[in-house]
Amino acid sequence: MNRRTFSSVGLGASLGAMLPSLGGAQQKPDYSPAGLERELPSTNPGPKGCSDLPELPAPPSRVVSERLLPGFQARQIQTSGATINVLTKGTGKPLLLIHGHPETHLTWHKVAPALADQYTVVLPDLRGYGDSSKPAYSDRSRNYSFRAMAQDQVDVMRELGHTRFMVAGHDRGGRVAHRLCLDHPDAVEKVALLDVAPTLTMYNDTNKEFATKYVWWFLQIQPAPMPEHLIGLDPVYYLRDHLAVQGKTPGAISPEVMAEYIRCYCCLGTIRAMCEDYRAAAGIDLDDDRESDSSNTFIQAPLHALWGGKGTVGHLWNVLETWRAKSNNTVTGKPLPCGHLIPEEDPDGVLAEFRTFFGA
């Protein structure tokens, strides 16, 4: 398969063609480039396959931000290792909401405005993601370790005047929140984790089904520059394929939000950062988790877990039991009737759960 053929069919389809059939005949969604463009339309189509990509995203639109997150104020905060893009609104108790891969703070745009009526809501872009800075390659990818990302969150909250706060994390944001609870237990009052089991648990339990459904966990950990190059050949397709596979609610991502995800994703710096994030998770982060386990370092805050009832994590793991093994406090939670993209697929469910848990 040459480069032109690869670009025309996209990464997901190419990998699928290389893998043997895993079951009986089923009618499957149309994951072709044209099919995904219909499923996840964007107000801005983004770069075509094999285009030259910029190093960084184009600047964000204040008009779009105000429309999606009315009244939120954006600023850049320098941490010990990065410059973090942050949006804030509200005057109540501080609530930090951390997004996941491959999205940005806009993951929370359907729930954050309502939460800001009750809490001081803080929406950062993780380092490497969105409009935050994108540190360079580093030994063992430590610039993108969950420990480094957790320190960013503590630095941001202290700069905003919050030494103790509540936190919710989705996907990678949940893994950052886990490490935040371990490294900075005095800072976390309560923690909610969305559609994740502990990273070490998931890697230890990996089987063919998980590796097939979460192929990016294993593609993006390969040595540079192979995954960066493959993703960069058609980043819009790769992004759409990822979101389409993870989400189970058609229309959950609006064209305007999809355009923002494309803007932030389709650049060399972001692609490099996301691969480094996954390399760290499969290496130095696992060492940190093993060290925490061996030293009996547990989550001290009350924990509430939510997962997609139609997704992979709840299907393959007993989510509550995996977190009870990592916690010294209460662990509660439930599935919601959606896929992995919980804050966008079931915002009403998330709001109800957050209000009950954080408000108690």
Residue from 109, 162, 178, 340 carrying the catalytic annotation: 340
- pLDDT tier at 7 (50, 70, 90 boundaries)? very low
Q: What percent of the chain has pLDDT over 90?
A: 86
CATH at residue 241: 3.40.50.1820
Q: Which helix (H) or strand (E) holds 75?
A: strand 73-78
Q: Which residue has the tokens 């992979």?
A: 312
Q: Quick one: tokens of 233?
A: 């050949």
| Contact (Cβ atoms closer than 8 angstroms) between residue 350 and residue 336 | yes
Residue from 131, 171, 234, 288 carrying the catalytic annotation: 171
Return the biggest CA–CA distance within the chain: 58
Is 324 inside a domain boundary? yes
Mean per-residue pLDDT for 290-307? 98
Query: First vs last Cα of the chain: how many Å apart?
Result: 57
Is 193 inside a domain boundary? yes
Is 339 inside a domain boundary? yes
Is 198 inside a domain boundary? yes
What is the per-residue pLDDT for 85? 98
Is 75 inside a domain boundary? yes
What is the per-residue pLDDT for 14? 43
Q: Is 52 a catalytic residue?
A: no
What is the per-residue pLDDT for 176? 99
Residue 309 burial (C-beta neighbours within 10 Å; 0-12, 13-18, 19+)? middle
Mean per-residue pLDDT for 96-125? 98
Q: How long, in residues, is the chain?
A: 360
Q: Which residue, among 209, 208, 199, 273, has the nearest Cα to 235 in the 3D structure?
A: 273
- Sequence-distant (≥ 6) Cβ neighbours of residue 326 within 8 angstroms: 178, 198, 298, 299
Q: Quick one: tokens of 213?
A: 């459904």
Residue 248 burial (C-beta neighbours within 10 Å; 0-12, 13-18, 19+)? middle
CA-CA-CA-CA torsion for 254, 173, 246, 1, nearest 10 degrees?
100
Is 223 inside a domain boundary? yes
The per-residue pLDDT for range 62-85, each reduced to its tens digit, is 999 999 999 999 999 999 999 999
Provide the edge-to-edge strand list for the sheet that holds 83-89: 73-78, 83-89, 119-124, 93-98, 165-170, 188-194, 303-308, 331-336
- HEC per residue, 189-215: EEEEEECCCCHHHHHHCCCHHHHHHCC
- pLDDT tier at 326 (50, 70, 90 boundaries)? very high
Sequence letter at residue 113: P
Mean per-residue pLDDT for 28-40? 85
The DSSP 8-state label assigned to residue 299 in this structure reads B
Q: pTM for this structure?
A: 0.90
Is 163 inside a domain boundary? yes
Is 45 inside a domain boundary? no
| Contact (Cβ atoms closer than 8 angstroms) between residue 147 and residue 182 | no
Q: Is 101 a catalytic residue?
A: no
Look up the domain containing 298 and give its range: 52-359
The per-residue pLDDT for range 121-132, each reduced to its tens digit, is 999 999 999 999
d(CA 241, CA 12): 7
d(CA 339, CA 252): 10
What is the per-residue pLDDT for 124? 99
Alpha carbon distances (Å) from 295 to 24, 112, 314: 46, 36, 28
The domain total for the chain is 1
